[in-house]
């Protein structure tokens, strides 16, 4: 994946090969700026590769998006701050709603009872049931991040793409979110999670792929990756493995 810059072409990803099986929980790790979010956006059809091929459920990302095969939780919260948590989840359900997107966004339309009930179930599942009628902008940071996950779940994705869902959280908060993500996987959703904090994903994901400078540095179980000398050096600097 190459971008043009004033000083010339910048290769964000180079010869990266990655396969995620149905029902698997894979974490994509690496230092900031190594290409993790770029890769996630390629899978989500937000960016197009300059070379190579991407398949989602055996088809192109564009076709997968049309088939509503995946949900995406961005690194920056993409919430309607002036609407309630419930209304945000209803927005996430718009692809399956009997109302059009414009009605969901710009009107105070009465939503079908079954759709409201389904969204309340999602909020309960994610631990936000008691906040359903609170404005998104008034929720604590951690709750806003979880609300983004709830919105993505409303689309009934087979693949859930998460871009640093625990950013800005303390250890206890991040632990709760990772436990939620693990439960989502246990219910049959495939997870591809981007993170730069290795501690946040240890003990939850099945496999870790580490990127560094746009290339795949290592791949394996959390135990294997955490003791890999190249990974330790990429995170902590040369000589860290001898400390």
Q: Could you say which DSSP state residue 223 is in?
A: H
Closest by CA position to 205, among listed 1, 27, 4, 2: 27
Q: What's the whole-model pTM score?
A: 0.83
Per-residue pLDDT tens digits of the chain, which is 243 residues long: 443 333 334 467 788 888 889 999 999 998 888 888 888 888 888 888 787 887 776 767 676 666 666 788 887 767 888 889 998 998 887 655 555 555 555 555 567 788 889 999 999 999 999 999 999 999 999 999 999 999 999 988 889 999 999 988 888 889 999 999 999 999 999 999 998 877 888 888 999 999 988 889 999 999 999 889 988 887 766 434 333
pLDDT of residue 182: 94
Neighbours of 176 (CB within 10 A): 14
Closest by CA position to 90, among listed 181, 184, 153: 153
Rounded CA separation 142/166 (Å): 8
Rounded CA separation 185/207 (Å): 13
DSSP letter string over 108-147? Answer: -PPPPHHHHHHHHHHHHHTT-GGGTTSBGGGS-HHHHHHH
pLDDT of residue 25: 95
pLDDT of residue 178: 93
pLDDT of residue 214: 87
The residues with which 102 forms a beta bridge, in sequence order, are none
Helix, strand and coil in the chain, % to nearest 5: 40, 20, 40
Closest by CA position to 165, among listed 197, 189, 205, 130: 197
pLDDT of residue 92: 82
Give the end-to-end CA distance of the chain in Å, rounded to a whole number.
Answer: 36
Closest by CA position to 212, among listed 233, 197, 226: 233
pLDDT of residue 30: 85
Residues of the chain with CATH 3.40.50.300: 14-69+157-243
Closest by CA position to 52, among listed 39, 36, 67: 39
Q: Are 156 and 189 in contact (CB under 8 A)?
A: no
- Under CATH, what is the fold of the domain 14-69+157-243? Rossmann fold (3.40.50)
What Cα–Cα distance (Å) separates residue 108 from each residue in 10, 77, 83, 103? Answer: 46, 23, 10, 8
What Cα–Cα distance (Å) separates residue 144 from each residue in 42, 118, 141, 155, 218? Answer: 25, 19, 5, 18, 32
Rounded CA separation 9/21 (Å): 33
How long is the chain? 243
């Amino acid at each position: 994946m190459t971008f043009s810059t004033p000083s010339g072409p910048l290769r964000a990803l180079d010869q990266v090969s990655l396969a995620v099986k149905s029902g698997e929980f894979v974490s994509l790790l690496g230092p900031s700026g190594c290409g993790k979010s770029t890769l996630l956006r390629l899978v989500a059809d937000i960016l197009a590769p300059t070379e190579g091929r991407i398949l989602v459920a055996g088809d192109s990302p564009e076709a997968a998006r049309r088939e509503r095969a995946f949900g995406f939780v961005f690194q920056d919260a993409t919430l309607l701050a002036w609407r309630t948590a419930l209304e945000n989840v209803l927005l996430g359900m718009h692809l399956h709603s009997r109302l059009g997107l414009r009605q969901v966004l710009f009107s105070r339309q009465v939503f079908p009872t079954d759709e409201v009930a389904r969204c309340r179930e999602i909020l309960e599942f994610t631990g936000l049931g008691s906040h359903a009628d609170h404005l998104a902008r008034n929720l604590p940071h951690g709750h806003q991040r979880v609300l983004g996950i709830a919105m993505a779940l409303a689309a009934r994705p087979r693949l859930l793409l998460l871009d640093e869902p625990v950013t800005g959280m303390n250890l206890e908060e991040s632990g709760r979110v990772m436990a939620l993500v693990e439960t989502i996987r246990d219910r049959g959703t495939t997870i591809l999670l981007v993170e730069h904090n290795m501690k946040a994903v240890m003990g939850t994901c099945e496999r870790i792929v580490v990127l560094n400078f746009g290339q795949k540095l290592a791949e394996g179980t959390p135990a294997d990756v955490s003791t890999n000398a190249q990974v330790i050096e990429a995170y902590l600097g040369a000589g860290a493995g001898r400390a």
